[in-house]
A and B are shown apart, each in its own frame.
Chain A
């Protein structure tokens, strides 16, 4: 059983999770461009 995160731990964890998801989307766009050459 992992204890729940406190407020600041939540801020760090969820903001980095959000950053990761944004980077993933940007990464996917980059891959689309690389593979298709369309931009």
Chain B
């Protein structure tokens, strides 16, 4: 397999970060060279554990997802009967929880947990980034920050789905879709927190806003809160759940949110650049890939010595 410029650069950075010696480097280069050009052949033929093969999310990220998961659903299901408190279905729901006042208290308490989760997440990413910078292993391409490459990946992926390209683009740990989704969620959370706080602390907002704007701000927040919630529900139900449950290759469920691991097949298909880092970081992964590809007769045997020219 011939590497693209981007993949080559990722590989070189990873060699540097992992302090890879010459012998190991030659071994990695030789393995990559003997892989077939068509990545589909690789990911369709490797063996994967459905629960996951390669590390992806730390326990902190998994905990944050779990907290967001639970608070999101409970906020949606306590928020609706508060908004439609006189509806026939809302009344028994509120009575079940102990009355509208109790539903409100539950809604606000869970909101605090959601805000805590967001703060916890911001701390995790800041300290996580600081740690990798200190260890001299930081690579912005491995983060969720949007880069120009994501625009090209998006275009190339659409071209692939339209049958105009042979292969999907080589994407990094976070692909364009995940980046859009992540920032949409971040924006949504901010809107919900600001608008929710406007209902809880109207005096505070009135005190910091110009007098002529304060009431407009309140009205805007009254509109934003339920409509942003509706948007979030739509995104979660149609987009996120499709991607992690129903999409071909993920059905019936992707386990990453529990195990923190991604399947080898998925990593090679959608996060090939991250897979290259996995190959550099883990001799076991190289051994397994070599064994699997050999077993299927997919390793191209090139003459040893050529790899040193790379």
Report yes or no: A39 in contact with B241, Cβ–Cβ below 8 A.
no
Q: How many A-B residue pairs have CB under 8 A?
A: 66
Main secondary structure of the interface of A (DSSP, over half): helix
Of B40-48, B97-105, B151-159, B209-217, the one contacting chain A is B40-48
Select one of A4, A13, A28, A39 contacting B253, CB under 8 A: A13
Q: At the interface, yes or no: B129 with Cβ under 8 Å from chain A?
A: no
A31/B84 contact (C-beta < 8 A), A1-B45, A17-B252 known: no
Min distance, Cβ B201 to any Cβ of chain A, angstroms: 25
Residues of A within 8 A of B260 (CB): none
Q: Which residues in chain A, 10-38, are within 8 Å of chain B measured between CB atoms?
A: 10, 12-14, 16-17, 20, 23-24, 27-28, 30-31, 33-35
Query: Of A2, A14, A28, A34, which one neighbours B265 at CB under 8 angstroms?
Result: A2
Q: Name the residue among A9, A12, A16, A20 with the largest chain B CB count within 10 angstroms.
A: A20
Q: Is A34 a contact of B226 with CB atoms below 8 Å?
A: yes
Give the nearest-CB partner of A25 in chain B.
B237
Q: How large is the interface on B (under 10, 10 to 19, 20 to 34, 35 or more residues)?
A: 20 to 34
Q: How many residues of chain A get a CB closer than 8 Å to chain B's CBs?
A: 23
Complex A-B: 17 CB contacts under 8 Å = A1-B265, A2-B48, A2-B249, A5-B50, A13-B253, A14-B252, A16-B245, A17-B252, A23-B237, A24-B237, A27-B237, A30-B76, A30-B230, A34-B226, A39-B87, A39-B88, A39-B90
